[in-house]
Amino acid sequence: MNKITTSFCLLILSSTLLTAQTGKLIPLTERVNVQGDSARTSQIIDGCWVAVGTNKTHAIQRDYTIPFKGKPSYRFELQTDDNTLEGYGKGETKGRAEFSYCYATANDFKRQPKSVYTQAQVMKTVYHHGKGICPQGSSRDYQFSIYVPSALDANVSTIFAQWHGMPDRTLVSTPEGEVKKLSVEEFLALSERMTFKKNIAHDKIVKLDKAGQPQKDARGNIVYKIGKPNGWLVEQGGYPPLAFGFSEGYFYIKANSDRKWLTDKTDRCNSNPAKVEIMKPVTSEYKASTIAYKMAFADFPKDCWITFKVHIDWTVYGKEAETILKPGKLDVRMEYSDQGKKINRTLVNNQKVLIGRNDEDGYYFKFGIYRVGNSTVPVCYNLADYSER
């Protein structure tokens, strides 16, 4: 097995094995909740990824039929009935089958008290202790490749690559509207009496049996039911600061920014590629959403490997002051071959743009399928060749 480095961590099977396996799709069905759990060795894919989302056998597969530079790629697929998540709007659904470059393992907690891991599970910050984090306000280069088949429906609504924020749930808003950052102990005490559904806190109510005694589960733990919202809110995040995807008949690159210290989930500032001009941000009081580039889906190259090279200077925020200290920049280049001719295109030319979130921690990369907008249109394409530096 070839040694994996951060500069090239995908697709480690040798060309000899590739030849032997040609024509095969190998399902990858292990999944990790990166916020709440560490990854076991068996769940780590090619030394640098863990998978999230539905674990149906067709969702993520190692693909020997469409290799990238002589090595197998990854095939991602969601069928009509594969949406398993609640959407942004009432009654809407979303579907996910992705790789996360950021995750933690048991080794990341080895030199710390056992309580650190259990506390991180409650706070959903396990992955904050792991690999793959790009620090807040920093600069970084990324590269990845996608193969889109000509059979893909133009009506798909999917994000195939996204950079995600890392919200800290110890940042809360009280019922009186005071925003404050709790200590670990204060948050754990709060979670003892509340359940959080997304960013909204609900009282825990003890379930009683017919005799009026607290019900317990098989492990002897008291069973609770979820009460009404109690006015507390926790930081949960929002739209990805950068996304590459297909929607409304377009390929698009979208940069989002949120300078609010505690994200306002009711603020749905989000640009539509079919309605918004390139580099003309849609804004609200705290947020900005910019279509940095778009192309008609019909013009997007099909049945070939396309490599994206991305440079990001993440916006620098003023934390509690909720200010912009330094705008960001985005540069995107696309490379592919057309009938043997190498094509190099600049999609975003080192443009100044607001891009990021006002979190203490930074960002991490995911690619795959994140089907949004209540869409159930089948999606299937291949991805490979990720690196960051």
pLDDT given at position 23: 66
User: 255-269: buried (b, 16+ CB within 10 Å) or exposed (e) per residue?
Assistant: bbbbbbbbbbeeeeb
Q: Which domains does the chain have, with CATH numbers?
A: 15-168+238-388 (2.60.120.200), 171-234 (3.10.540.20)
Mean pLDDT of 361-376: 96
pLDDT given at position 17: 41
Q: Which of 12-21, 219-228, 323-332 has the lowest mean pLDDT?
A: 12-21
Query: For 169-204, how does the pLDDT look when each residue is reduced to its tens digit (9 = 90+)?
Result: 999 999 999 999 999 999 999 999 999 999 999 999
Query: How crowded is the C-beta side of 107, counted as CA atoms within 13 Å?
Result: 5
Q: Which tokens sit at 11?
A: 């697709």
Checking if the pLDDT of 214 tops 70, the result is yes
Contact 247, 346 (CB under 8 A): no
Determine phi and psi for 16, rounding to 5 degrees: -65, -45
pLDDT confidence band for 10 (50 / 70 / 90)? very low
Start-to-end CA span in the chain (Å)? 23
- Residue type for position 63: D
Q: What is the largest CA-CA distance in the chain?
A: 78
pLDDT given at position 26: 98
Checking if the pLDDT of 11 tops 70, the result is no
pLDDT confidence band for 7 (50 / 70 / 90)? very low
Mean pLDDT of 203-207: 93
Contact 39, 49 (CB under 8 A): no
Query: For 124-179, how does the pLDDT look when each residue is reduced to its tens digit (9 = 90+)?
Result: 999 999 999 999 999 999 999 999 999 999 999 999 999 999 999 999 999 999 99
Checking if the pLDDT of 347 tops 50, the result is yes
pLDDT given at position 220: 87
Mean pLDDT of 321-338: 98
pLDDT confidence band for 14 (50 / 70 / 90)? very low
- Residue type for position 253: I
- Angle subtended at Cα 257 by Cα 255 and Cα 260, rounded to the nearest 5 degrees: 170
Distance CA 204, CA 201 (A): 9
Query: For 250-259, how does the pLDDT look when each residue is reduced to its tens digit (9 = 90+)?
Result: 999 999 999 9
pLDDT given at position 88: 73
- Residue type for position 74: Y
Checking if the pLDDT of 278 tops 90, the result is yes
Contact 247, 209 (CB under 8 A): no
Helix (H, G, I), strand (E, B) or coil at 20: helix
Mean pLDDT of 301-323: 98
pLDDT confidence band for 58 (50 / 70 / 90)? very high
pLDDT confidence band for 219 (50 / 70 / 90)? confident
Checking if the pLDDT of 20 tops 50, the result is no
What predicted TM-score, i.e. pTM, was given to this entire model?
0.91
pLDDT confidence band for 16 (50 / 70 / 90)? very low
Determine phi and psi for 191, rounding to 5 degrees: -70, -20
Distance CA 350, CA 282 (A): 20
Strand partners, 50: 100
Q: Is 286 left (phi over 0), alpha (psi -120 to 50) or beta?
A: alpha
pLDDT given at position 91: 79
pLDDT confidence band for 87 (50 / 70 / 90)? confident
**How far from 102 is each of 32, 249, 261, 289, 368, CA to CA, in Å?**
11, 31, 23, 24, 14
Distance CA 377, CA 371 (A): 9
Residue listed under structure tokens 């984090």: 133
Checking if the pLDDT of 12 tops 50, the result is no
Contact 236, 199 (CB under 8 A): yes
